[in-house]
Chains A and B, each alone.
Chain A
Amino acid sequence: MKPASFAYHAPKSVDEAVSLLDELAPQDGRILAGGQSLVATMAFRMARPSHLIDINGIEELAKLSADHGVVRIGACVRHCAFDSDALTGATGALLRKVVRNIAHLPIRTRGTFCGSVANADPASEWCCVMAALDGVAVLRSPRGTRRVPAAELYQGVMATSMAEDELLIAAELPMLADDTRTGFIEFSRRQGDFAIAMALVTYRLEGTVIVEPRVAIGGAETYPRRISESETVLQGRAPCEATFVAAAEAAAVAIDPMEDINNTARYRRNLVRDLTQKALELAA
């Protein structure tokens, strides 16, 4: 089907975009970023925004930077930006592993990191990264700038704590220490499809034991989050099979899986157990 009519706005600055959003959000005005989710839902007429505020022409939002220990991802940075050596270190290496799981190349050339974060699909890889690394969403509105940590951002399937008039201007991720080990794996029925479940783990070794473990699960629950029960198992233990099996079991027990017509809760729980163990093995 064809998208319904809307009025198109192409602001050239963040200030202009914020004031347009302030004016038009109450009339169902929306931000258009990569369009890789929004335009598809408009074609289905599941979304019929009356106004679209296209942020693609705002140069200051296209910036990707890494300094002072923070990777800052502007609202117009596309998925494909992470499929290069632009970002170094453990965080860069992790994002390179993850990005290849997001859709397909022609979608990655348009879709944006921040669009995924705002869209809050439970199976979004970037939302899982935000949860795993305690990323921060930087939100701008006429009331000023607000910084919301991932743990307070996601509230349910495609639901966030962003107000309708807030523009996500950037996402920030910590730069992991260089010796951080990272593992990511997801399962979907076909290459490029949305995942049924995914696991992202990071940890460091101090001597022979695991420190600073992070275990995040996406796709299985209504939003991705860190699983502290699994991290507690890993902390201070040697990275061996017994540890990984115990941590994977803890993750499987801790989650409250979604059910849908193809995937039962039990199936998702088993998948999470398997993927958590594999992600830990990949990181080792």
Chain B
Amino acid sequence: MTDRREITLKINGTEYTINVEARRTLVDAIREECGQTGTHIGCEHGVCGACTVLVNGNPVRSCLMFAVQAEGQSIRTVEGLQQGEQLHPLQESFMKHHALQCGFCTPGFLMLAVGVLEKNPDLTDEELSDLLSSNLCRCTGYENIMKAVRAGADGMK
């Protein structure tokens, strides 16, 4: 039995009307049906954070939500960070502080940090490392991600 339906997803302000099965995860729909492949898929069970996007301003694991559940909500992905030619301060900061190597985890880290810093740019170092422990990076060793988010937070104030 398949339960298919037409839904509209609003991603970075653009509406995508798509036809998906109920079992389609939000991350798959964002990538496959909406063609926004900046959001990555690692573990598909909530552990790695590669799929982190903002739903109504809050960071969520988009592999643990079904696309049908996101109908009518505002979704933000890494593609929405850049304004015209201007990178987001956090993207600039990731470049400057070498906070990425292969870049696989980067969209997830960026969305996680943007979601939290937009509400509270004054995180202590302890809160920051607690926050960033949510996502996995197999390359950088995290120190530079910490530095980049710390510096980027100042840029976002």
Contacts and interface: CB of A to CB of B under 8 A. Distances in A.
B134 A39 contact: no
A110 interface: yes
B39 interface: no
Interface residues of A, number: 31
Which of A7, A54, A110: most chain B Cβ within 10 A? A110
A190 B69 contact: no
Specify the main secondary structure of chain A where it touches its partner.
Answer: loop
A6 B23 contact: yes
A36 B64 CA distance: 6
A106 B61 contact: yes
A2 B28 contact: yes
B85 interface: no
Contact of A1 (B5, B44, B131): B44
A40 B64 contact: yes
A110 B64 contact: yes
Contact of B64 (A1, A35, A44): A35
A105 B23 contact: no
Nearest to A111: B64
Interface in B17-59: 21-23, 25, 28, 44-46, 49, 52, 58-59
Nearest to A4: B23
A56 interface: yes
A100 interface: yes
Contacts, number: 88
Contact of A40 (B46, B116, B133): B46
B22 to A, nearest CB: 4
Contact of A43 (B2, B58, B63, B116): B63
B134 A109 contact: no
A192 B60 contact: no
B149 interface: no
Contacts of B133: 104, 190-192
Contacts of B131: 104-105
Contact of B45 (A10, A43, A52): A43
A104 B134 contact: yes
Nearest to A56: B69
A228 interface: no
B127 to A, nearest CB: 10
Interface of A: 1-8, 10, 35-36, 39-40, 42-44, 50, 52, 54, 56, 80, 100, 104-107, 109-110, 190-192
Interface of B: 1-3, 5, 21-23, 25, 28, 44-46, 49, 52, 58-61, 63-66, 68-69, 112, 116, 130-131, 133-134
30 contacts: A2-B23, A4-B23, A6-B3, A7-B1, A7-B3, A7-B22, A8-B3, A8-B22, A8-B66, A8-B68, A35-B64, A35-B69, A36-B61, A36-B64, A39-B66, A40-B64, A43-B45, A43-B63, A52-B22, A54-B69, A100-B130, A104-B133, A105-B116, A106-B52, A107-B46, A109-B60, A110-B60, A110-B64, A110-B65, A191-B130
